[in-house]
Amino acid sequence: MNRARESTPEVVVVSGASAGVGRAVAHAFAKRGAKVGLLARGASALEDVRREVEELGGTALVVRTDVADAAQVEAAAEAVEARFGPIDTWVNVAMSTVFAPLSEIDASEFERATRVTYLGTVHGTMSALKRMRTRDRGTVVQVGSALAYRAIPLQSAYCGAKFAVRGFTDSVRTELMHDKSKVRITMVQLPGVNTPQFSWCLSRLPDHPMPVPPIYEPEIPAEAVYFAAHHRRREIWVGYSAVGAIVGDRIAPRVADWYLAKKGFSSQQMPDRPVKPDRPYNLFEPVPAQAATHGIFDGKAKRRSPQLWANMHRNVVGGAVAAGAAAVVAGAALAKRT
C-alpha cells in the first residue's frame, strides 16, 4: 500500500478539477484532509471547487492550466510544491471530446481533443514523475474508460486518446519496474458517468449526447480513484458495464462491432431532444455556466456499484466465497456419512 507521509496531509494534484469526475475526485481527497492542487482552465469554476474542498476539510490551491500545454502543466506542478510541499499523488482526469462521425470532425478539432485527453495525461505524468522518481515514492492515477478497450462510434477522438493513454501507461509502468522504482502508476477504467461533458462537448449529432447506459454518478469513480491511489492495483474497473465491455470485447470483438454499428448511434443520444446549433462548447474555451460535479442525468444515474465494492473488498469477498465453499463441502460430507 502506498501512503502519504504520516506527519503531514497528503498532497494531491487533480487535472480537470473544475467539473465532473475531476471535481468529485477533489472532493474525495478533501474529505480525507488532503492538500489539493486544482488544475483546469476555468477560473470561476476552480474558485467554486476551492471553496468546496475547504468546506469538506481539505486545503486547495487553484492553478489555471491548459493541460495541452506542457509548460503550463510543469508550472502548475512547481506552484503546488511551492505551496504544499512534495506531491504524493497526481490524478490525470482532464479530457475533451467531439461527438460526431469522423467525416464531420475537422482536423483541428480532432487534434485539440487528442492534445487535451491524451497529451494532457502525458504532460501530467511527466511532471509528476520528474519529482516522484527522485524521491522514490508517489502515485500517478490515470482516469481511463472502458472505451480504452472497447471503442464505440461517434467518439473516435476520445476512444483513440484513451487507447493511447492505456498504452502509454503500460509502457511507463514497465520502465518503473525495470528501475525497481517505488513510484506507482495505475489506471481506473470508468463506465458511463453523469458529468457535464455531454452538455458542453462539441456535438454534431442531431440529438443531445448522453453516456451509454447504465450511467453512474461521479462520486463512484472518485472513490475508485482514491482507492487506487492508496492500494497496489494495476487497474481498477468500475461498474458491471465496464467489466462487460472490456471482457466482452476480448471474447467476441466482431459481435461487439456488429452490436455497436446497430445500436451505438441511438444509445448515445437523447431521443427528441435536438442540440441547439449555437450551443457553447468547451473544446477550445471553457464554458463556466456548465461547470458542475453532476450532469443532467441524476434521475437515471446509479449511486452505488456493488461490483466496485466487491473489487475494493476482494479479500472479504474471497473469504466469504471460500467459507461458503467449505460449508458446502462439509455439508456434502456429512450427508454422505448419514
Of the chain, the end-to-end C-alpha distance in Å amounts to 48
Give CA–CA dist 37/28, Å, rounded: 13
Residue 276 confidence (pLDDT): 87
Question: How many residues appear in the chain?
Answer: 338
- 268-295 tens-digit pLDDT: 999 989 998 889 999 999 999 999 999 9
Does the residue 2 lie in any domain? no
Quick check: 185 pLDDT over 60? yes
How many other CB atoms are there within 10 angstroms of residue 116's CB atom? 25
The pLDDT-based confidence of 333 (bands split at 50, 70, 90) is low
Q: Each residue of 63-107: pLDDT tens digit?
A: 999 999 999 999 999 999 999 999 999 999 999 999 999 999 999
Residue 123's nearest CA partner among 185, 58, 167, 66 is: 66
- CA–CA separation, 237 vs 245, rounded Å? 10
Helix (H, G, I), strand (E, B) or coil at 187: strand
Q: Provide the domain count of the chain.
A: 1
| Strand pairing class (11-15; 98-99) | unpaired
Within-domain flag for 70: yes
Residue 108 sits in a domain of what CATH number? 3.40.50.720
Strand 207-209 relative to strand 269-274: parallel, antiparallel, unpaired? antiparallel
Percent pLDDT > 90 in the chain is 88
Instruction: Tell me the residue range of the domain where 313 lies.
Output: 11-332
Q: Does 335 score more than 50 pLDDT?
A: yes
Q: What confidence score (pLDDT) does residue 3 get?
A: 47
User: Is residue 3 domain-resident?
Assistant: no
Name the percent of the chain in helix, strand, coil, to the closest 5: 50, 15, 30
Cα-trace Rg, the chain? 21
Mean pLDDT across the chain: 93
pLDDT of residue 329: 54
User: Using CA atoms, how far apart are residues 89 and 81, in angstroms rounded to an integer?
Assistant: 12
Whether 118 is catalytic is: no
At 166, the pLDDT band (50, 70, 90 cuts) reads very high
Phi, psi of 151 (to 5 degrees): -75, 150
| Domain annotation covers residue 301 | yes
What pLDDT is recorded for position 56?
98
The stretch 210-221 carries a mean pLDDT of 97
What the block records as the C-alpha cell of 169 is 501507461
What's residue 314's pLDDT?
Answer: 76
- What pairs with residue 98 in β-bridges? 202
Tell whether 4 is covered by a domain.
no
Phi, psi of 301 (to 5 degrees): -85, 145
User: What's the pLDDT score for residue 4?
Assistant: 44
> Which residues in 289-328 are b (16+ Cβ under 10 Å) and which e?
ebbbbbbbbeeebbeebebbeebbeeeeeeeeeeeeeeee
pLDDT, residue 2, reads: 44
Backbone angles phi, psi at 98, to 5 degrees: -130, 125
How much is the average pLDDT of 40-45?
A: 97
* pLDDT, tens digit, 9 for 90 and up, residues 105-162: 999 999 999 999 999 999 999 999 999 999 999 999 999 999 999 999 999 999 999 9
Nearest Cα residue to 233 out of 144, 158, 147: 144
- Read off the pLDDT of each residue in 311-330 and give the average, rounded to a whole number: 60
Nearest to 197 by CA among 21, 330, 324: 21
Given the residues 118, 149, 158, 226, select the one marked as catalytic: 158
Read off the pLDDT of each residue in 203-222 and give the average, rounded to a whole number: 97
Cα 56 to its chain centre, rounded Å, is: 21
**3 state DSSP class of 11:** strand
